[in-house]
């Protein structure tokens, strides 16, 4: 491929070889690699005023070791990703919101910009729209609807991007990694969390973050949930409910409803695609290609909640290689894929949701499949097809832990046809 | 206001009925003052309803309520184009889920015909499945109400009030009536720190209607018995699962839970009917919301896996009696308009006409405006052109609902600027989508800074540690 067909600024901005929707780590990574692989016209559509995704307003976590060979903060990391994509020759178009996919086999996107609505076409589309936290409403959390109830993402945007604070004494619901990030964000804004609330009996996150409540002197209430939020205009308090149903109220002026990430799969849902009930993201084959529309690919946290920026960056690289190969010589037909499924409790999902039993394109297949538990469990994890065990290993894990299984032996062992199913034979 | 500070009509309450009332009296030629206790309009009962423009097919026949619904529906159709108000004529199906319910269908259809809704007709199995392909097939029959429609429950009353303002009405918010007196010719209404004078008073105070009667007449003409209704809203991706309104067969005590599309392209399920003491407690509870979600999934099984976008509750100003409680006091130039419950959105324009008629007994010495202005209401319906499609929209701020910066800035300005986040949401739908503010809270905090008495956020005390 050559650069001859490429149109940059000043050229037509509506026809592209690949459009990447979403300018976070996975999308920018994919765009950068697509250009490096010689794909001429690559655009990243970012709906915010600046690209970079979630790391942009995440002040704490260390980023960039794998991608740029040094540790950096979220903002610098986001800026480096954008620079890399632009330096590679991808167009990063900000304030471009994709409204919907047009019908038909060739991708057409309805896009809105400050200049109004427009149509954009591409030979392939990479969805990299990331994740968000589950809202208070989607959790069916009861009570009033006052000001001061927000997710960590919203809090970080208010604090780090606008340098404002929505409250002084909030409670924080959840103990995922992001929940501790919420504690630090509160502290940065001069707010002092009143308490950290966790419905389970233990903290969800692993690692040193667990010590934060102790270090900051923030009371931790385990085995406790928020039953209701109170307040006429602003939050005035929350009702806490213990495991045994006992309730008590806690005065506070805000509530950060953290974690329980879910893929931002609205575009796929609006297009009538079937999302995986376990991941809540689009279903993909081993190339990252949508099982609902073969011209669309999905990468990064849209595939499943929730991985690190570095992991998503890696997925972007792999997806770009598959897309470039698809454009150049074509990938194996979607119909040849063997479905990957989970047998049910306690296995919540497997990603990808299909693989190709062929050695034609081994370099493009993912090294591993990802599984997730819905509860702590241990036993023997088995991959089987038509009653035949293809692979097995011991497993002792928890819902918050990443579980990866090597795909290569399964790709070699699986036969065309019926689904390959993961099952956990639990230890007594 | 006139030079001597005297209004012809003071409308107390800027809910849907007050907004329609202000429009009616303004267009009839009166000098109108609207007094609203809350920081913004539509802050009480009108805040939470199902957004259905009813035909009145199931209203009690030969009642004032039924007449006002019919007149209100008709007037909405007549004026909505000129005010830029949406209409999705989805039709409604009343579906029976048991044999006992099916046995009641003929009587309901007969009642509809008696109410003048003569296009109601029975549906066979195939037609029901065609109109709602994802409906649970375990139904026992149903009938069609072709003209039941979906409208924007906030744009409509906002549009009514904007037309009143454009033609001379004055609106005071944060203006609770705390007392007053009639001197035989004019009223003095006491507000915090000041008073206003008006010749007539129309009490459209909704949930506080009995309080206002008590304050101004010395005795309430009715007793408000607040009835809460909770709702669950499914994501827009669910819209394709149900293109029509699904109504249950009403029981003697309740109209039951509706599953229907909204003007904004969501699917909604609700309301519950919960008697309560509080006029302000619009809280939701998890168990009830879960029950509503399950009800929706029982009627339309494909809704089971659909994400929830929002939950809310509204409080209907029910009274100790079933019907509307509209009482004129001509000797005191006062009309009390109470007990307007769920049908108020549809009936408001009809109620306003009815009340304007009643007011003639007080002596109506004004003449209709010859050429009133018709300002356009905000367009938020999925079925109408939206601002994101136009040039120079300033870019999207709320991505889920595709709300532009220009729309938000317009809502913060103009003749009736938003005074609270709730008011801004109702005018623009910002933060009302699936992420509930995850993405746009930061930008909104910046754009709205200085506009609201209760700001989204304050400047941070920066502490880098």
Q: What is the phi/psi pair of residue B406, to 5°?
A: -65, -40
A308 and B CB contact within 8 Å: no
For A187-230, write each residue's pLDDT tens digit: 999 999 999 999 999 898 888 888 999 999 999 999 999 999 99
A138 — contact with chain B (CB < 8 Å)? yes
Check residue A359 and give its pLDDT. Answer: 61
pLDDT-based confidence at residue A59 (cuts at 50, 70, 90) = low
Q: CA triplet A298, A352, A47: central angle to 5 degrees? A: 20
The two structure tokens encoding residue B332: 């005191």
Instruction: Give the one of A113, A117, A158 whose C-beta lies nearest to B441's C-beta.
Output: A158
Q: What is the pLDDT of residue A60?
A: 64
Q: Which residue of A has its CA nearest to B393?
A: A114
Average pLDDT, chain A: 92
- In chain A, pLDDT over 70 holds for what percent of residues? 96
B188 touches chain A (CB under 8 A): no
Tokens of B30: 């009166």
Residues in chain B with pLDDT < 50? Answer: 1, 3, 462-465
A137 touches chain B (CB under 8 A): yes
CA distance A116 to chain B (A): 4
Of the pLDDT bands very low, low, confident and very high (cuts 50, 70, 90), residue A412 is confident
A165 to B459: CB separation less than 8 angstroms, yes or no: yes
Q: Look at A262 and B456 and tell me if their CB atoms are within 8 Å.
A: no
Domain ranges of chain A: 15-131+262-331, 135-259, 341-426
Q: Does the beta-carbon distance from B283 to A144 stay under 8 Å? A: yes
The CATH homologous superfamily for domain A15-131+262-331 is: FAD/NAD(P)-binding domain (3.50.50.60)
* Nearest CB to A137; choose among B309, B445, B449: B309
Task: State residue B4's pLDDT score.
Answer: 66
> Which domains, ranges and CATH numbers included, belong to chain B?
6-48+154-223+320-362 (3.50.50.60), 92-146+225-316 (3.30.9.10), 387-448 (no CATH)
Q: Which of A58, A116, A152, A154 best probes binding to B when mutated, by most B CB atoms within 10 angstroms?
A: A154
In DSSP terms, which residues pair with B316 in a beta bridge? B227
B312 to chain A, closest Cα gap in Å: 8
Distance from the A4 Cα atom to the nearest Cα atom in chain B, whole angstroms: 32
ipTM: 0.92
Q: Where does A135-259 sit in CATH, by number?
A: 3.50.50.60
Q: Where does the pLDDT of residue A4 fall: very low under 50, low under 70, confident under 90, or very high at 90 and above?
A: very low
Beta carbons within 10 angstroms of residue B219's beta carbon: 7
Using the Cβ of B402 and the Cβ atoms of chain A, whether some distance falls under 8 Å is answered with yes
What is the per-residue pLDDT for B461?
61
CB contact under 8 A, B457 and A228: no
Q: Which of A47, A140, A264 sits opposite B308 (nearest CB)?
A: A140
B141 touches A: beta carbon within 8 Å? no
Lowest-confidence range among A20-34, A60-74, B56-70? A60-74
Q: Long-range contacts made by residues B78-83, C-beta under 8 angstroms, separation at least 24?
A: B79/B349, B80/B151, B80/B156, B82/B374, B83/B159, B83/B160, B83/B163, B83/B374, B83/B375, B83/B376, B83/B377
A134 close to A261: Cβ distance less than 8 angstroms: yes
Q: From A49, which residue of chain B is nearest by alpha-carbon distance? A: B395
Does A65 contact B at CB distance below 8 Å?
no
CB-side neighbour CA atoms (13 Å) of A14: 10
Q: Do domains A15-131+262-331 and A135-259 have the same CATH topology?
A: yes
* Burial zone of A56 (CB within 10 Å; 0-12 exposed, 13-18 middle, 19+ buried): buried
pLDDT digits (tens, 9 = 90+) for A242-282: 999 999 999 999 999 999 999 999 999 999 999 999 999 99
pLDDT score, position A11: 40
At A280, give phi and psi (nearest 5°): 65, 15
CA distances from A409 to A351, A358, A359, A365, B276 (A): 16, 12, 11, 12, 63
* A 221-250 residues with CB < 8 A to B: 227-228, 230, 232-234
Whole-Å CA distances, A120 to A21, A228, A416: 12, 45, 37
Q: Which of A101, A115, A138 to mutate to test the interface with B (most CBs of B within 10 A)?
A: A138
Residue-level pLDDT at B249 = 96
Q: In the prediction, which pLDDT does A327 show? A: 98
């Amino acid at each position: 491929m050559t650069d001859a067909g490429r149109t940059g600024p000043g050229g037509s901005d509506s026809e592209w070889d690949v459009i990447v929707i979403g300018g976070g780590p996975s999308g920018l990574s994919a765009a950068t690699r697509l250009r490096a692989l010689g794909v001429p016209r690559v655009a990243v559509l970012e709906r915010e005023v600046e690209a970079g995704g979630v790391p942009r307003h995440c002040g704490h976590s260390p980023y960039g070791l794998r991608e740029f060979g040094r540790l950096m903060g979220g903002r610098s990391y986001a800026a480096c990703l954008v620079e890399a994509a632009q330096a590679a020759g991808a167009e990063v178009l900000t304030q471009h919101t994709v409204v919907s996919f047009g019908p038909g086999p060739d991708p057409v996107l309805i896009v809105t910009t400050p200049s109004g609505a427009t149509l954009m076409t591409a030979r392939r589309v990479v969805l990299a729209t990331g994740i968000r936290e589950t809202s208070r409403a989607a959790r069916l959390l009861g009570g009033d609807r006052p000001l001061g109830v927000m997710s960590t993402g919203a809090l970080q945007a208010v604090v780090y991007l606008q340098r404002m604070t929505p409250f002084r004494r909030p409670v924080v619901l959840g103990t995922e990694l992001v929940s501790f990030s919420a504690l630090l964000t509160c502290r940065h804004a001069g707010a002092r969390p009143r308490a950290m609330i966790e419905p389970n009996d233990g903290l969800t996150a692993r690692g040193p973050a667990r010590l934060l409540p102790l270090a900051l002197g923030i009371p931790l209430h385990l085995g406790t949930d928020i039953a209701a939020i109170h307040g006429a205009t602003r939050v005035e308090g929350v009702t806490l409910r213990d495991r045994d149903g006992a309730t008590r109220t806690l005065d506070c002026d805000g509530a950060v409803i953290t974690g329980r990430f879910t893929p931002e799969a609205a575009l796929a849902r609006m297009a009538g695609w079937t999302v995986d009930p376990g991941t809540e993201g689009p279903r993909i084959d081993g190339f990252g290609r949508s099982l609902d529309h073969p011209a669309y690919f999905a990468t990064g946290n849209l595939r499943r909640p929730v991985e690190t920026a570095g992991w998503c960056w890696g997925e972007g690289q792999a997806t770009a290689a598959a897309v470039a190969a698809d454009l150049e010589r074509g990938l194996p037909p979607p119909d040849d894929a063997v479905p990957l499924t989970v047998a049910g409790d306690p296995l919540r999902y497997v990603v990808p949701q299909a693989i190709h039993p062929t050695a034609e394109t081994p370099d493009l297949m993912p090294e591993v499949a990802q599984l997730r538990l819905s509860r702590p469990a241990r036993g023997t994890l088995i991959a089987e097809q038509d009653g035949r065990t293809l692979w097995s290993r011991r497993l002792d894990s928890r819902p918050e832990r990443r579980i990866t299984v090597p795909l290569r032996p399964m790709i070699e062992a699986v036969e065309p046809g019926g689904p390959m199913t993961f099952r956990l034979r639990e230890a007594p | 206001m006139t030079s001597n500070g005297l209004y012809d009509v003071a409308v107390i309450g800027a809910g849907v009925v007050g907004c329609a009332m202000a429009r009616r009296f303004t267009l009839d030629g009166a000098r109108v003052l609207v007094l609203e206790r809350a920081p913004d309009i539509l802050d009480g009962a009108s805040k939470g309803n199902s957004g259905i423009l009813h035909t009145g097919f199931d209203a009690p026949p030969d009642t004032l309520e039924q007449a006002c619904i019919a007149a209100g529906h008709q007037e909405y159709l007549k004026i909505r184009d000129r005010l830029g108000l949406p209409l999705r004529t989805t039709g409604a199906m009343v579906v029976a889920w048991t044999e006992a319910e099916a046995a009641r269908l003929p009587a309901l259809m007969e009642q509809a015909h008696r109410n003048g809704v003569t296009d109601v007709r029975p549906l066979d199995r195939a037609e029901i499945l065609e109109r709602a392909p994802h409906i649970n097939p375990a139904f026992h029959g149903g009938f069609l109400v072709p003209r039941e429609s979906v409208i924007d429950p906030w744009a409509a009353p906002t549009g009514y009030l904007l037309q009143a303002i454009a033609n001379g009405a004055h609106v005071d918010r944060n203006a609770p009536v705390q007392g007053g007196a009639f001197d035989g010719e004019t009223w003095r209404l006491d507000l915090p720190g000041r008073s206003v004078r008006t010749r007539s008073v129309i009490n459209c105070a909704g949930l506080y209607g009995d309080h206002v009667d008590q304050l101004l007449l010395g005795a309430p003409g009715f007793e408000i018995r607040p009835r809460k209704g909770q709702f669950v809203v499914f994501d827009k991706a669910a819209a394709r699962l149900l293109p029509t309104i699904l109504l249950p067969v009403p029981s003697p005590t309740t109209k039951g839970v509706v599953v229907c599309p909204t003007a904004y392209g969501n699917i909604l399920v609700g309301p519950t009917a919960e008697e309560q003491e509080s006029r302000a407690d619009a809280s939701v509870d998890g168990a009830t919301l879960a029950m509503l979600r399950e009800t929706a999934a029982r009627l339309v099984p494909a809704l089971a896996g659909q994400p929830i976008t929002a939950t809310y509750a509204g409080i209907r100003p029910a009274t100790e009696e079933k019907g509307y409680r509209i009482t004129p006091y001509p000797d005191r130039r006062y009309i009390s308009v109470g007990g307007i419950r769920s049908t108020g959105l549809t009936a408001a324009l009809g109620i306003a006409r009815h009340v304007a008629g009643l007011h003639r007994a007080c002596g109506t010495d004004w003449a209709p405006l010859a050429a009133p202005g018709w300002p356009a209401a905000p367009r938020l319906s999925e079925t109408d052109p939206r601002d994101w499609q136009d040039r120079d929209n300033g870019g999207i701020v709320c991505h889920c609902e595709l709300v532009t910066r220009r729309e938000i800035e317009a809502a913060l300005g103009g003749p009736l600027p938003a005074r609270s986040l709730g008011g801004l949401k109702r005018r623009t739908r910002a933060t009302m989508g699936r992420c509930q503010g995850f993405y746009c809270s930061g930008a909104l905090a910046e754009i709205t800074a200085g506009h609201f008495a209760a700001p989204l956020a304050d400047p941070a005390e920066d502490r880098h540690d």
